[in-house]
Chain A
Amino acid sequence: MTGTATRTVPRPGVRWLRRALRNPTLIAGAVIMLVVLALAVFSPTPYDPFAQDLDHGLAPPSPAHWFGTDQLGRDILSRVVAATRTDLRIAVLAAVVPFVVGVAVGLVSGYAGGWLDWIVGRVVDTFVAFPFYVLVIVVVFAAGTGERGIYVAYALVGWISYARVIRAKTRSLCRQGWVEAAYGGGLSHTRVVGRHLLPNVLPQAVVLLMTEILLIMVAVVTLGYLGLGVQPPTPDWGTMISDGQLFLTTKWWVSTLPGLAVVTTGVGLSLLGDGLADVWRLR
Chain B
Amino acid sequence: MRWVGRSLLSVVPVVVGVVLCVFFLIRIVPGDPAAMILGDQATQASIDALHEQLGLDLPLGTQLWNWLVGVFTRGDIGTSLITSQPVAGLVWSRAGITAGLVLLAVGFTVLLAVPLALLAATHAGSWLDQLVRVVPTIGMAMPAFWVGLLLILVFGVNLHWLPVGGVGTGPGEPLRSLVLPAFTVALGMSPPLVRSLREQLLEVLDADFVVTLRAARLPRWRVNSHVLRNAAVPTVSLLGLNIAYLIGGTLVIEKVFAINGLGALLFSSISSRDFPVVQGIALVLALVVVVVSLLTEALVALLDPRIRAA
Contact = CB atoms under 8 A, between A and B. Distances in A.
Tell me, yes or no, whether A and B come into direct contact in the complex with CB atoms closer than 8 A.
yes
Given A248-B153, A267-B138, A132 B245 contact: yes
7 contacts: A125-B10, A125-B14, A126-B14, A129-B248, A130-B286, A135-B25, A249-B157
A125 B285 CA distance: 13
A137 B137 contact: no
B13 interface: yes
B79 interface: no
A131 B249 contact: yes
Contacts of B22: 130, 134
Interface string A118-137: 00011101101111111101
Contacts of A269: 141
Interface of B: 10, 13-15, 17-18, 21-22, 25-26, 28-31, 133-134, 137-138, 140-146, 149, 153, 157, 195, 199, 241, 244-245, 247-249, 251-252, 255, 263, 266-267, 270, 278, 282, 285-286, 289-290, 293
Interface residues of A, number: 42
Contact of A128 (B30, B195, B278, B289): B289
Given A131-B251, A131-B266, 9 more contacts: A122-B13, A125-B290, A129-B285, A130-B286, A133-B267, A134-B270, A138-B28, A262-B141, A270-B137
A60 B69 CA distance: 62
A132 B267 CA distance: 12
A129 B18 contact: yes
A85 B28 CA distance: 32
A245 B149 contact: yes
B282 A214 contact: no
Contacts of A132: 245, 248-249
Contacts of A263: 138, 141-142
A202 B290 CA distance: 30
A222 interface: yes
Contacts of B31: 141
A214 B13 contact: no
A239 B150 CA distance: 17
B145 A129 contact: no
A267 B143 contact: no
A184 to B, nearest CB: 25
A27 B203 CA distance: 25
Nearest to B20: A126
Given A266-B140, A271-B137, A241 B30 contact: no
